[in-house]
Structure formats: C-alpha cells, structure tokens
Amino acid sequence: MERIAIGLSDPASQKAVDWVIDRAQSRTVEVTLVAAFARIRTPSSQVTELLRTARERIGNASPRTVVHLAPVDGDPIRALVEASERADLVVVGAHARGGLASWREAPSLTVARSVRSATVIVPEGWHPTGLGTVLVGVDDDSSASALAFAAREAEQRGAQLEVVRAWTAPLPAYDPLVWIVDTEGELRLANRARLDEAVTAVRAEHPGMRVRSTLAECLANIALRDRAAHADLIVLGTHRRGPITGLVTGSTARELLKDVDIPLCIVPRERQETSRRSHAATPAAAATASTATATA
C-alpha cells in the first residue's frame, strides 16, 4: 500500500486530489488530507468543509481508498513535514501563473524542499493524458534517487521510461574536465557515455522495461520541456550541496512549472540512501562538471 499526504488549501489544490484519484485507479493507496488554518487565516469550519469535500470526492471515485483527515491549527509546511514522515509521497497543487502552490504562504517548491518524502507538484492546468511515459532528468550529482524512483514508477505504470541528460559546452576556467577533454565532440561523447551507463543500470535492475535515452545540448529545463508533451510525469532529483538550493530563484524545477502542465516529482537524496540500504538501488551515472543541471 502506498501512503500519500495531500496538502489542501484553495481550488488549485483540487488538482492534487484529482491526481491522487487517478493514481488510486491502478494501485492501493492510503491518503491523509492535510489542511492548516492558522497561517492561511482560514476559519476552522472552512477547513473542515474542505477536508470533508475532498474525502467525499476520493471516496466516490475510489471506495476502497482509506482517507484520513488532518486539520492542523498551525504552520502548513510543518504539518506536511510531519505527515511526510509517514508518507511515501506528498502531493500539492500549483497555480498556473508563477508556479506557486496552492498553499498561500508556501510555494510548492518550498514544500518539496522541506519534506523528506518524494513530492509531486500538480499544475493547475493538468489533465490525465495516459501517454505512457515517465520522463527523468539526470546529471552527475543527483541521478541515483531520481532514476531509481522514476524506474519503479514506470514499471508500476507499465510505462516507458525516458532518461534525459542535458549538457552545454563549459568555459575552460570553470570546468576541470576541459583539461582532459578539450573538444565539443569529445564532450558530447563523454556525456553520451554517462547517459548510456545510467540506461544500462536501469535495464539491469528492471529487465524488459522500455527505456529510451535522450542527450540534449541545451539547458536541462529546455530539454525536459521539449519532451514533456509526450510524458505523464517528470522526475527530478536534488543536489548533494543542499535541499533544492535555489529553487525559488530560477532553477530547473521552477522553470518547468512555468512552462508545462505535467506533474513534477522531486525526489530528495535521502531516498537514495534509504533505497540503497533496503533494495540495492540502481547505480547512478558518474560525475562530469560539464553537464547542465537536470535537477531541482
């Protein structure tokens, strides 16, 4: 059984509910609806009604789904952080304009930065498509957690996995790799080799899965945006240097939320370590500084 926590506030968060309802059609899930009313200055009676309505929608669409209500008189971020300790996924909505979540004082990316579980951000313009592809962006610092999660997701959906690696030619002063590889063609070959390593690892871990690889010479958000029209979900990892550094100042995740209506899943590095201990997670590609960041 998959445990999901949904953050509720205004109408945008209803897309998060829609996404979980759609997910519940193909797997067994247990849902906790989290709504905080102190910081968003919403009367407790309105929060109660919001929770009740969401529970009824889920119950009507998926009667076998167990739904818990969690009205919280406190900080919505803290409430979701606490809920994420017992959840496999946290799901929030995002307004179409500006890429902000339905939590009025808490952007969806701040939620993703704060919780320990994987976070799915569902844009306001999302509608189920059934395209049958999970898209994952990989680089050399964050690939393992995102790649392992995306592969499991594709396997459970019976979907194709598309692994995307983006790169740009570096400035010599900032990239030590150019001292070894000094031509654009060789850089392309080096990045292709890293991508092939990631794909080979996935195929070894998930025999029979349909896996496609895409190498793009551009920024990561552009590469993923261009492939998003063919995907049902985009998966990104986080960097070693900290929890989603720079998300609110123009990262790949923020740019994608502005440009696409595809749900975006952000997988923290902590899941990589847990997965390695419990299931021997898929190995990630090795590092090259020339790769354009494909992470949150």
Domains of the chain: 2-123 (3.40.50.620), 133-279 (3.40.50.620)
Using CB atoms within 10 Å of the CB of residue 16, give its burial: 0 to 12 exposed, 13 to 18 middle, 19+ buried. Answer: buried
103 CA to centre of own chain: 18
pLDDT for residue 258: 85
Residue 47's pLDDT is what?
79
Q: What is the pTM of this model?
A: 0.81
Helix (H, G, I), strand (E, B) or coil at 225: helix
State the pLDDT at residue 132. Answer: 92
Q: What are phi and psi of 21, to 5 degrees?
A: -60, -45
Along the chain (296 residues), what's the average pLDDT of each consecutive run of 10 residues? 89 88 94 75 75 94 94 81 92 64 52 87 90 92 85 95 90 56 78 94 95 94 93 86 38 86 87 43 37 45
Residue 291: predicted pLDDT: 42
CA dihedral sign of residues 184, 186, 192, 194: negative
